[in-house]
Structure 1
Amino acid sequence: MRVPNLVFSTIILFLSNLIVRVLGFLYKIFLSKVIGDTGLGIYHILFNFLMICLAFTTTGIPTTLSCLVANKKAINDKHSSNVLFISTLYVAFFISLVVSLFISLNSNFIAFKLLHNSNLSLLVLAICPAIVVITISNILRGYYYGLKDVCVPAIGQVLEQVSRIIFVYLIIMYLNDKSQNCYIALLGISIGETINILFIVLCLYKNSNLFNRYTINLRDFYNASLETLKMSIPITCNKMSNILLHSLSSLIVPSRLVLSGISYSQSLSMYGIISGMVMPFVYLPFTLGSALVVNLIPSISQELSLGKYKNIIKKINYALSLTFFVGIISSIFFYIFGEKLCLIIFDNILAGTYLKAMFLVPLFMSLNQTLSGILHSIRKEVSSSVITIIGMLIQLIALYILLPMPDLNIYAYIYTMTIVSFFTCLLHIIVLVRTLKNLNIRRLK
């Protein structure tokens, strides 16, 4: 088992994700100062809506491409690898363009439904280019992950974050118009991803696996597209359901909080504090989890096809042990220092109170991320999908019922997220243990 290669790839992605998270964290501090709590609430409502749109274009296809390219690379089939990459790029671009045009044509209606103000349609239009460029960016990254070349996408992600921050900072400082700050922040998403695409495209010209002038016939395009779509549909349904239900639960928070006796502006402010100040801390352990999952899915898939069950179990144990260690350290740290941390960084004691109350969420959510990736790699994506959907449905129903209660209000969001993440983690573990028992039986045979 080539664990050193897995460790090296994980370290590279971990470092890039860590840099991106730290920069993103500093960026959130900047945004909290220039657009305020209410602006953060609006920003994250539209960002969650963007995630719903991207669920149709980027969730399953890049993961599928990385697995298929990894398999073709193992047998040194450059032609099939190139056909898969080019076909997937065209298909994903077409889907994202259709979704982007649909959103732009219905921007007034969407602004009214999401923000209760059709005059904010310009903010909805700001995320339309991001749907296309993020889709292309994810396909390019998926191709490099399949080649097990993590350096290019890792550098690209850092460039994306840096260019986005520089663009937003310079434009906001130049215009000095607070009414446009949220729009500029949303537009910055597209700018950053465009820089990322340009960098990866430049690297493609030097890629020996892809010919600079390469054409494919219609039959190859059809077969490759069909192969990609067949494998990506289950993954897409899982991710799409997860993102859709998660985003819907986030979208109903402000409106349901109003029923607890506070104003809509106050509810947006509460949600803005959690989403813009607390959640960046909560998602810090995901830096490691993202790096692990990206490397584990193609790696374990190859081991499974070769029947190397002992190697699979070792890699799973390695991933879970590392994730648990980072998760438990993060949870303990946030419980002890959460209030002081938010007071120092955001000058907001309320954010610290929320973070301390959510101290277990980083542990369970990071474990869920790794467990879900493992189940996808060992062909248990349907089980993972069912668990995720059940968990999110429970969360959605609980939020709808509990948020209007005056004694709970925003704490209903915190407690629900903690309980649901623990519940889904437990279900993931049960499925994984049963699957590993079957793998042990096969190995003994």
Structure 2
Amino acid sequence: MSRKTFIKGTLILTLAGVLTKIFGFGCRIFLSRSIGAAGMGLYQLIMPVTAVCYAIGIAGPEVCVSRFCAAYAASRDHLRARHTAVFCFGMSMILCIICTVLSYMGADIIAGYIFHNPHVAPLIRISVFSVPFACIHCLVCAYYISKERTVIPAVSQIFEQAVRLGAIYIIVHIAHNKGEEITAAVGVAGLVCGEIAAALLCAAIVLTGRRKNIRTTRHPGIEVKQIIKTSIPVSLNRLALHGMQSLEAALIPLMLTVYGYSAQHSVAIFGILTGMAMPVILFPSTLTGSVAQMLLPSVAKEQSSSDKLIKSSRMALVFSLAFGFICIIGYTTAGAVIMAYVFDEPKLSGYIRIMAWLCPFIFINTTYKSMLHALGQAGRVLLNSMLSELITIICIVFLIPRMGIYAYLLGLLASQAANSALSICAFTRTVSRITTHKPLRS
């Protein structure tokens, strides 16, 4: 991938990401003012459930599409790239449907035994309908990114968030007119509407583009074994990560009650942290996320050249550190106060000032994980993520009952710093093996 194409693709995805985040902020601000901190807490509790479904059904096939289709496109084998994408899509859709059915049927068990909150069950039943549509959206975007056509993924992201915001606004307006109570179900319904709209848009683009392609009876072989071998570690990585995040989400309100908070106050604090503070902190990751998306196919094509890999990693590290410290300055000064005013939540500013120090580590993790996936090192990413989450969970279980919510923030900082160091070391070792012509192992 040329520097011009890389920069152009990154800028397009970044612009789309910024607009997407703006719509997302609009949704969260509107929701927080409509359903309150406790409602935001319930809304955030279901996010790990859908994330686990995404991990099982989408994560592995999505990476395979980006990696293999980019490699085939580089060798001008576009037909094989399309067949690979179709195979990955079929595999992903089957897994997503299975996850949707099981989650819907087991919603009461998940709500009662994992989250200890029966109000979560109906929200889970609504949210899981987004999973099959997210499969269409994510796989189509991955395919076009592998072809270095970033406009389509960018447009679909913006369209999804715009529909989500519009759906939430309409539902709230109707509920107000009828005098009905506005609950967290409004936000979940908006999530589903957004995914359905994005999936329909992506499907229309694919079907329209297919008519322009020349039909052929040739069916090139696809590397099924290699796809599955690549997909399973990635899916296990995301599953382990999101599974532990689900445990984390369930433990935080529970441990806060042990500390002395009421159940409602615990969920409200959880909502402020995960529904307001964390999205603010992750807003700049739009840029690093775009860089990471473009790095995956780029590194996949350049993995035979250790010099290019080292150059890419140095640029990613310098960029992540510099951008991270700029974000720290912004958040610890005016950013925290502004966000507390916007969300109408005074406690938010203190949390943002502490969580701002996560930025450099989050940016490093985002870029280096993408490069490791491109080099087939999904197993390393899995191990790093597991160790990182384990640190956070240890802090939640053993320190929150003694120190309160600040123990969780301390755990986040420690885990992200550890993950950054492990990711850099793993990438360095992988490149050194390329230099000495040793085989890579995931």
What's the TM-score, normalizing by structure 1? Answer: 0.92
Confirm or deny: 8 A CA contact 1:39 1:182 kept in the other structure: yes
Distance 1:53 1:206 in 2: 29
Structure 1 residues 89-98 or 77-86, which shifts more? 77-86
User: 1:310 offset after TM fit, Å?
Assistant: 2.3
1:195 is matched with: 197
Residue 58 of structure 2 aligns to a residue in which SS?
coil
Structure 1 letter corresponding to 2:245: H
Report the CA distance shift for 1:213/1:106 in structure 2 as closer, same or farther (over 3 A).
farther
Report the CA distance shift for 1:441/1:94 in structure 2 as closer, same or farther (over 3 A).
closer
2:68 is matched with: 68
Distance 2:17 2:339 in 1: 22
1:245 is matched with: 244
Structure 2 letter corresponding to 1:143: Y
Residue 57 of structure 2 aligns to a residue in which SS?
coil
Report the CA distance shift for 1:338/1:63 in structure 2 as closer, same or farther (over 3 A).
same
**What is the correspondence of 1:382-401 to structure 2 with a 5 Å cutoff?**
382-401=379-398
User: 1:441 offset after TM fit, Å?
Assistant: 5.5
1:431 is matched with: 426
Confirm or deny: 8 A CA contact 2:316 2:364 kept in the other structure: no
Structure 2 letter corresponding to 1:284: F
Report the CA distance shift for 1:398/1:120 in structure 2 as closer, same or farther (over 3 A).
closer
Distance 1:434 1:239 in 2: 22
Distance 1:335 1:94 in 2: 46
Distance 2:212 2:190 in 1: 31
For structure 2, the residue ranges without an aligned partner over 5 or more in a row are: none
Is 1:419 matched up with 2:414? yes
What's the TM-score, normalizing by structure 2? Answer: 0.92
2:206 is matched with: 204
1:23 is matched with: 23
For structure 1, the residue ranges without an aligned partner over 5 or more in a row are: none
User: 1:21 offset after TM fit, Å?
Assistant: 1.0
**What is the correspondence of 1:257-406 to structure 2 with a 5 Å cutoff?**
257-304=256-303, 307-405=304-402
Distance 1:246 1:215 in 2: 46
Confirm or deny: 8 A CA contact 2:115 2:250 kept in the other structure: no
1:186 is matched with: 188
Confirm or deny: 8 A CA contact 2:69 2:81 kept in the other structure: yes
User: 1:211 offset after TM fit, Å?
Assistant: 4.2
Residue 262 of structure 1 aligns to a residue in which SS?
coil
Confirm or deny: 8 A CA contact 2:339 2:349 kept in the other structure: yes
Report the CA distance shift for 1:347/1:121 in structure 2 as closer, same or farther (over 3 A).
closer
User: 1:181 offset after TM fit, Å?
Assistant: 3.2
User: 1:100 offset after TM fit, Å?
Assistant: 0.5
1:156 is matched with: 156
Structure 2 letter corresponding to 1:387: N
Is 1:145 matched up with 2:140? no
Confirm or deny: 8 A CA contact 2:49 2:124 kept in the other structure: no
Report the CA distance shift for 1:442/1:128 in structure 2 as closer, same or farther (over 3 A).
closer
Report the CA distance shift for 1:189/1:323 in structure 2 as closer, same or farther (over 3 A).
same
Q: Deviations over 1:1-58 (max 9, x none)?
A: 6111111111111111111112111211111011111110000001122112211011
User: 1:439 offset after TM fit, Å?
Assistant: 4.7
User: 1:87 offset after TM fit, Å?
Assistant: 1.5
User: 1:179 offset after TM fit, Å?
Assistant: 3.5
